[in-house]
Each structure stands twice: as structure tokens, then as C-alpha cells.
Structure 1
Amino acid sequence: MGRAVPAVSRALDILELFLDGKARSASQITELTGLPRTTVHELVTTLADRAYLTAEPGQPTRYRLGMRLFQLGNVFAEQLDLAHEALVAAREIAASCDETVHAAVLDGAEVVYIAKVDSTHPVRMVSAVGRRLPAHCTGVGKMLLSGLSPQALDACYPPDREMTAMTARSITSPELLRTELAEIRREGLAYDECESNEAVNCVAAPVHDHTGAMVAALSISVPILRWDSRRRREWGDLVRRGARSLSERLGHRPPGGEERE
């Protein structure tokens, strides 16, 4: 392992002050980093010369992130493969709970599974990458639907049209679906309680990209014989952490730099 270069670390510390999107003055940078004023001046001047920072118009000592970081971020985003990154996250979650983990994206009123890691238990969920299911019958689907605008949701589920059912517990009322989606938005988790499979429950969490858009959902699917209130909470916390980790790999930073627990 090579030695970290202190000057580079200080420059990166300065850049990371701007992750919240706010402009900052040289004096604020000095205060927040605790670095000597001369050091801050030299580092900020260098970063501005290389277009990593840019001075605000009419305020030469007040800075925000520059175009070079935008260019680097675009290159990074183009290299990301959602299915691959989702599989990595699913493996990490499955290693912690030994249950089946899925990642899915929304396509109209259906979800498409893009990654799956199986449980090692003899009794487990039968599913496959590429499979499509009605979104309103699944945890991942309901999570993704919760991110739609009212207009987009109406296009998928007209308020006056009953929805198809996969089991006796599937939601078939557009009104009930909208009520549950409101609760999902509040809690940040979605549940499928024998709604797509009579013997399986699941809990799902949202995945966001660098723009803040919900681009996928991760879920843990569990046969009801291994599901109880304690594990419901544990798996909810676990899938939330896994989805947060995947979102971070996709470049997402929540408002204020903090995730809700």
C-alpha cells in the first residue's frame, strides 16, 4: 500500500464540503476544515484553476463545484451497470439473512426482476431474473409505484378499474392501493404479505440514483414459516441498509446528507 499524500487529502476534504450543493466562501472553508488560511487559499486557487471549483459571479472568494467534477461524474455514471451493482448488493444482504433477495425495476404496471440471490434453505422462493409480475402484488412493485407522480399512477391504475389478483390477498382496489402507497412513502418500506405467492412474505426498500430518482427496489422474500414480527423488523432494517448502500454506489446522496433510519 502506498502512503496517502496529505495535500491531496486536504484538497479532497475541501471538495467534499460541497456535497450538500451549497456555495462556500474561502473563510467558511478555512473554518470548516481547520486548515491554515494560506493553505486553503493555495488549495482553492489550484482547484479553481483546474475547474474543480468555480467562483460565483461577482463574488471571487465564494465558490461552488466546477464543471470538471460534472464531467467526471458523468463518466462514472456511464460506467455503472445497475443489474451488476444490484447483484452485488443482493449478495451482501443474502449473506446476512440467508433468505432470497431480489432487485427489480418498474416497467409500466409490471416489475422486472434484474437480480436474484437464493437462500440456501430447502424451502425457498421460486423465481427468476427477467420474470415479470404485476407491480401492485409485490413488495418491490409497491415500493416503485410509491415513487410515481399521481398522473403516472393513474395511467397505470385508472381509479375506476379493478386490478388483477395473484392470490386472495392481492390488492384489487385502486383506492386501497393508493392508501397503502401513502403509508409506504411515510415508512420507507413496502411489504408483500402473501399477495404474489400464498406462502411467501417480503419486505422491500427503495434504490435511488445520483439524480435522486427511484430507479429500483431491493427485497427480502421469506416463506411464511420463517416470518415473524421480530424478523419482520430485522429484515426491514437489513434491506433498508442494503438499498442505502446500493444507492450510494449509484451516486445518491440524500437531502442534508443523512438517511432516515
Structure 2
Amino acid sequence: MTRDPRIEIGPRAALPLADEVPVALVYNGETQAVMMATPRDLEDFARGFSLTEGIVTAADEIEEIEIVDHGRGFEARMWLPEAAAGRLAARRRAMTGPVGCGLCGIDSIEAALRPAAQVATDALRLSAPDLRAAPEALRRRQPGHDATHAMHAAALWEPGRGLLFPREDVGRHNALDKVAGACLAAGETGRGRAVVLTSRVSVEMVQKAAAMGAEAVVAVSAPTALAVEMAEAAGLTLLAGLKHTARVYAHPHRLTEGAIE
């Protein structure tokens, strides 16, 4: 009997596998969400989730973060001041979702389809060299993917400066939240920058990118129809499909002449 040489049979322990654990996001003692995530950069994840879900609007609205290891999962315990806690109470939702669905558990259609934040700046200009370099630079910063072939990555790209805050996770939404959290912790925003993704662009990725203040999303895979509609409404430049044929789906004015041939 012959066997395809590309198929390996061996002990499970010998295979490099991506870590995936439940992470509870807890605010002032109450659990807001439980997400399946890779247990790295969890403070970034906690800050970014808080920002992109509209729970906080600035870094100083999270007074303290404590990461608690429970063995088979983690708690990210955060303490909010009164104003932020009041906003959270007014729009509380319970989310318990797998990594493949960033909208699981939202308790109303209106909440799932909330409009993305308006992109209020226009400082970004992306050239053809930027569009070549950004995904290539992100690809070189994916040690987790190289080891497991089971992780997504996200980062910010700033022309003239390069790749910023690259992060990985088994969940594409989580990877972007980690980028948002790292950016927030550094006291920076997405102004004049593009989000770079290894994944497809779904509606929640547009919502999260806009919440960061990013002016564009550049992705290797295609967007959904609703993601294009939301990007157009938010004033966000959306360029996707770099793995095959790059296309601009919304607000091409941030691309320099000849950026897309």
C-alpha cells in the first residue's frame, strides 16, 4: 500500500498546534464576553476589544488590567471609571462566540449591524510600493502561522514608517483587536494608517478598523458585500484580494496614481 508522501502520520504531541483557550473579558467584576483566543498579548486583546466594541474611547478609561490564569482559560479583568461603566451598562450584551464568528451572541440585529465610526481624517496616501510591501512585511512577522499554519495576523501600515503593531491569533477578529489594543496602549491611533489583514474582510472587521481611526483596510482576501457597503458609508478606503487580483471597493482617493493597474 502506498501513501501520499504529503500526509504525515505520527503522535499528536509531535505536531505544532495553535493554542486556543477561552478568554473572559470582565469589567468591574462582571463578565461581558467570553472569546476563544490565542493566549498571547492578552492585555492588548483586552484593550482592543474594549475600544472596538465601544466600551471605552481612550486608554485612560481602563484604570487597571489584570490577566488571571485559570489553567484552561484566562480572565482579563478590567476596571472602568464611572462614565465608561455607565456606557457599558446602557449597552450591555452577552457574547460567547467561536473564533470564526465575531458577532455570535449579540442580542439584537441592530447591534450587529451598528454603523461603523466615520473616518474623520484624510492623511493617508497608499502607493503601489506600499501595497506590495505591506502584506509582504506582515507575512514575515507571522511566527505562529509559520509553526502551525492555523493563525491569522493583522497590523497597521504607515507609509514611510512601515509595519506597526503586528499581532497573531487563531481568530481574525482577535488579531485585529490586539493591534487596536497595542496602538491604544502606545497612545496612538489609526490616523494616516491602513489596517493590513491576512483574512477576508467581513463587516465586523470594517467596524473595528474604523473604531481605531484607521483610514483604510488592505486585505489579501475578498470582502463581503455588507463590508463594502459599510466601508463606503464610513468613508473607509477598502482594498482587498491582494492574494489574487487586487481591487478597490470603496474610497479610492487615498491611493496614489498608478497604485492599482
TM range (shorter): under 0.3
**More helix as a share of residues:** 1
**Bigger radius of gyration, 1 or 2?**
1
Return the structure number with greater relative CO, CA threshold 8 A, min gap 6.
2
Tell me the TM-score normalised to structure 1 length.
Answer: 0.23
